Amino acid sequence: MHDTRTILVTGIAGFIGYHVAKRLVEDGWNVVGIDNCNDYYDPSLKHARLAQLGNAVTFYLGDIEDKGLIESIFETHKPELVCHLAAQAGVRYSIENPDAYISSNIVGFLNILEACRRHKPRHLFYASSSSVYGANTDVPFRTTDRVDQPVSLYAVTKRSNELMAYCYNHLYQIPCTGLRFFTVYGPWGRPDMAYFSFAEKILAREPINIYNHGNLSRDFTYIDDIVESIVRLIGVADAQSEPAAQSELAARCSLLAAYNIGNGAPVSLLEFVQTLEQELGMPAIKEYVDMQPGDVATTWADCEELFELTKFRPQTDLRTGLQRFVAWYKEYYRGGTL
């Protein structure tokens, strides 16, 4: 148990942030969180997530771009670990509103790094993305692959975060671990994600766009597998405080690394839609269209390094994950019915 230890979770009202914070509270951590609850998607969903957490966390409403606020949180709570999940998300929106990405993902992350430099938490975990692999067509994606071909500004900001972390690790010995997430889905998810918007439109009998005429595949990763991966990585970092727990793997995590967190089993877009149709009990009206700017044809994670370090491999299959999402969607939006 970690009842005397504090962890800061940024983006705590977000999809991943909420689930991570919930698990950390269950594991006995003192959780402090910050989120601006902006209107990129329906803020009421973010507030509902916070309501689920209730008084179990200490919450600050504000922007990570607010350097003074970040400094105050670090000074007041002195977090031992930081899990930085706040960011302006969305590949397509980065084409429409690039300023938001520079402000949140670059300036905001700099504020977190600077606070870590001054207050020296034992470890910083931060969200990266599978988007850093960009135009790379050599699959599955490995952390040793080139990441210098971004196809969206969102990807640029996430790769920049990795480089910024590298620099601060080199200059100030801040232990940093990047988390390259692959298409996260599940209950309490983001309405801008395909599985969520597809469910809404299928139930409303509205057409859904099948991009690249269906020639897409994604490494869908269920939220519980994401959380378990993060918690196990935190456990490795936390074990560093116990001399008897020192190991070569713990030492690897103590300095600088980036890990793929994906299911390791890409699913075609058409198979995904078919599975969602079956779980909803309703056919989709499909419109086949061209590839969108900033998109890639395939994502596929090689997670061997994650398994080597944590002995955990994301494993929830798509049907099981979508069943759980649909059950939550029915309860949250439709009182348990469709």
Share of the chain above pLDDT 70, in %: 93
Which residue of the set 18, 41, 60, 154 is catalytic? 154
168 catalytic? Reply is no
Contact (CB, 8 A) for 85 and 11:
yes
Confidence band for 242, pLDDT divided at 50, 70 and 90 = low
The residue among 111, 146, 129 whose CA lies nearest residue 181 is 129
Q: Residue 253: its pLDDT value, please?
A: 54
Sign of the four-CA dihedral 222, 224, 227, 232:
negative
For 3-19, write each residue's pLDDT tens digit. Answer: 569 999 999 999 999 99
Residues near 336 by Cβ (< 8 Å), separated by ≥ 6? Answer: 330
Q: CATH number of 6-183+221-262+302-315: 3.40.50.720, 3.90.1150.10, 3.40.640.10, 3.30.70.260?
A: 3.40.50.720
Q: Residue 246: its pLDDT value, please?
A: 47
Q: Which of left, alpha, beta for 247 (phi over 0: left; psi -120 to 50: alpha)?
A: beta
Buried b (16+ CB within 10 A) or exposed e, 141-164: bebeeebeebbbbbbbbbbbbbeb
Q: Give residue limits of the domains in the chain.
A: 6-183+221-262+302-315
Using CA atoms, how far residue 107 sits from 56, 112, 202, 228, 324, in Å, is: 29, 9, 38, 29, 36
- Distance from C-alpha of 48 to C-alpha of 268, rounded to nearest angstrom: 32
Q: What is the mean pLDDT of the chain?
A: 93
Per the model's pLDDT, the better-predicted residue between 245 and 320 turns out to be: 320
The pairing of beta strand 57-61 with beta strand 30-35: parallel
Is the bond leading into 140 cis (omega within 30 degrees of zero)? yes
Confidence band for 151, pLDDT divided at 50, 70 and 90 = very high
For 159-168, write each residue's pLDDT tens digit. Answer: 999 999 999 9
Per the model's pLDDT, the better-predicted residue between 254 and 124 turns out to be: 124
Q: Residue 1: its pLDDT value, please?
A: 42
Question: For residue 88, what are its two tokens?
Answer: 């302006």
For 282-317, write each residue's pLDDT tens digit. Answer: 999 999 999 988 889 899 999 999 999 999 999 999
Confidence band for 336, pLDDT divided at 50, 70 and 90 = low
Q: With a cut of 50, say whether residue 245 has pLDDT above it.
A: no
The pairing of beta strand 176-181 with beta strand 123-129: parallel
* Average pLDDT estimate for 176-184: 97
